[in-house]
Amino acid sequence: MESTNQTCATLIEELLVDPKGFYDSGRSYLLLQTFFDGASLEMLRPLLMSNILFVQRVAVFVASELGSSVCGLLDNIAPLLCSNERYLQYHAMEIITICSIGDKTGAFLSVVRMLETHDEVLRILAMNLMSRTTLTKIIAARNACTSDLPHAEAHQRGLGLLENLHLANAKIIEETIADEDPLVRRYGAIAAKRLEHIFSMVMKRMEASDDPDLRNFCGDST
């Protein structure tokens, strides 16, 4: 363990000396391997908190590959959603989805709220993550969605639909997909995807939707 931590420390030193060179050369994989080999995850925490872009890129890539083992670092990963860098936001969304467990389940709301972002790639990712996540996380997000949050009404309506999807029918889903609010339409698409085996025809019709998010969501296999 001590030698693994030392190897990790040496690589981190290299990263801090030349962050972009380290990232561009693919040495992130060597750093990742040290964590697979047992290096302390605490060594990753300051990298996630760095204000140097390529240090953060390396750190969030490593964290994304380590799966649920990085749940203890969730408080350092969540702030990356506020970054202006899609790369950081994208990986952070995936990590938060995995690590929204136990007493941190409500953290999934931060992924849900990415349905509001102006970045189409991140909106589609949020839709995909929501279409595959557990009902427990959907319920936790709805419970965490207080009325003072932006777009709270639309989120509560949409999360309520997903929570009670067993009561929905094609008419309800299609009405949601046709809503005038694009945020509500995204929830309709997520609902259809979560029960694609039942609402396959609804999914088919979404492929020709005037809403590009719905079209792209149907064609995305992320």
One-character DSSP codes across 38-55 = T--GGGTHHHHT-S-HHH
Tokens encoding 205: 């019709």
- Sign of dihedral through CA atoms 121, 75, 3, 19? positive
123 and 93 in one domain?
Answer: no
Both 146 and 197 in a single domain? Answer: yes
Residue where a domain terminates, one of 64, 79, 99:
99
Q: Looking at the structure, tell me whether residues 112 and 81 fall in a common domain.
A: no
Closest CA to 93 of 203, 116, 15: 116
What confidence score (pLDDT) does residue 199 get? 83
Answer yes or no: do 82 and 154 share one domain.
no
Of the candidates 110, 132, 115, 114, the one whose C-alpha atom is nearest the C-alpha of residue 185 is 115
CA count, 13 A, side-chain hemisphere, 49: 9
Total count of domains within the chain: 2
This prediction's pTM: 0.94
Q: Which of 99, 117, 141 is the last residue before a domain boundary?
A: 99
217 and 146 in a common domain: yes
Same domain, 212 and 116: yes
Tally the C-alpha atoms within 13 A of residue 207's C-alpha that lie toward its C-beta.
Answer: 7
Q: Are residues 142 and 68 in the same domain?
A: no
The pair of three-digit structure tokens given for residue 197, joined into one six-digit string: 């085996």
Q: Which residues constitute the domain of residue 37?
A: 1-99
Low-confidence ranges of the chain (pLDDT < 70): 1, 221-222
pLDDT value for 222: 56
- Asked if residue 211 and residue 137 are part of one domain, the reply reads yes
> Are residues 188 and 108 located together in one domain of the fold?
yes
CB proximity list for 131: less than 8 A, separation 6 or greater: 190, 193, 194
Q: Are residues 147 and 221 in the same domain?
A: yes
Residue 165 shares a structural domain with residue 67: no
* End residue of a domain, out of 74, 99, 124: 99
- Check: CB of residue 23 under 8 Å from CB of residue 58: yes
Q: Which pLDDT value is given to residue 153?
A: 96
Query: 114 and 222 share a domain?
Result: yes
What pLDDT, on the 0 to 100 scale, is given for residue 208? 86
Angstrom distances, CA of residue 155 to CA of 63, 121, 159, 175 = 29, 19, 6, 16
Q: What pLDDT score was predicted for residue 200? A: 84
